[in-house]
Amino acid sequence: MLGLGIVVAMVLASVGPSAVPHSRHVAVAAPALDSESPQSLFAGPIHHVVVVVLENAEASNVLRKGPYLETLSDSYAYASMDYAVCHPSAPNYLAMTSGGTFTQCGSDTHHVFAGSNLGDLLGRKHESWAAFAQSMPVPCDTTNSYPYAVKHNPFVFYSDIVKNKSRCGLHDLPLTAWNADVLAGTIPNFALIVPNLKNDGHDTGIAYADTWLKGWLSPYLKASWFNSTVFFITFDEGTTNAGYNHLAGGHIYLVAVSSHSTAGTAITSNSSHYSLLTTIEWLLGLGSNGRNDKATLNSPLQELFTFA
pLDDT value at position 181? Answer: 96
Q: What is the largest CA-CA distance in the chain?
A: 58
**By three-state DSSP, how is residue 237 classified?**
coil
46 occurs within a structural domain: yes
Residue 27 in this model has a pLDDT that exceeds 50: no
Residue 11, in any domain of the structure: no
Under the banding of pLDDT at 50, 70 and 90, the label for residue 264 is: confident
The CATH number of residue 242's host domain is 3.40.720.10
Would you say residue 8 has pLDDT above 90?
no
Residue 5 lies in a domain: no
| Residue 172 domain flag | yes
Q: Which residues of 204-277 form beta strands (DSSP E)?
A: 229-235, 251-252, 254-258, 266-267, 271-272
Task: Tell me whether residue 1 is in a domain.
Answer: no
Q: What is the pLDDT of residues 189-217, one digit of tens each?
A: 999 999 999 999 999 999 999 999 999 99
Q: Is residue 8 part of a domain?
A: no
| C-alpha–C-alpha distance, residues 65 and 150, integer Å | 27
Distances (CA, A) of 69 to 20, 53, 116, 215: 31, 12, 32, 12
Mean predicted confidence (pLDDT) in 23-27? 36
Share of the chain above pLDDT 70, in %: 87
Cα-based distances in Å from 194 to 7, 86, 138, 236, 269: 25, 19, 14, 11, 27
Q: Is the pLDDT of residue 26 over 50?
A: no
- What pLDDT is stored for residue 111 in this prediction? 98
- Residue range 241-252: average pLDDT? 98
Q: Report long-range pairs for 268-272 (Cβ below 8 Å, ≥24 apart).
A: 268/80, 268/81, 269/81, 269/303, 270/81, 270/83, 270/244, 270/245, 271/79, 271/81, 271/82, 271/83, 271/298, 271/301, 272/82, 272/83, 272/84, 272/85, 272/95, 272/243, 272/244, 272/247, 272/298
- For residue 12, the surrounding DSSP H or E stretch is helix 4-14
Q: What is the span of the domain harbouring residue 236?
A: 18-28+36-304
Number of domains the chain is built from: 1
Q: Is 2 inside any structural domain?
A: no
Report whether pLDDT(34) > 60. Answer: no
Antiparallel, parallel or unpaired: β 82-83 and 271-272: parallel
- What pLDDT score does 38 carry? 52
The yes-or-no verdict on residue 49 having pLDDT over 60 is yes
Q: Identify whether 6 is part of a domain.
A: no
- What DSSP assignment string belongs to 104-160? -TT------B-S--HHHHHHHTT--EEEEETT-SSTT--S-BTTB-GGG-GGGGBHH
- What is the DSSP secondary structure assignment for residue 227, as one 8-state letter? G
The tens digit of pLDDT for each residue in 89-139 reads 999 999 999 999 999 999 999 999 999 999 999 999 999 999 999 999 999
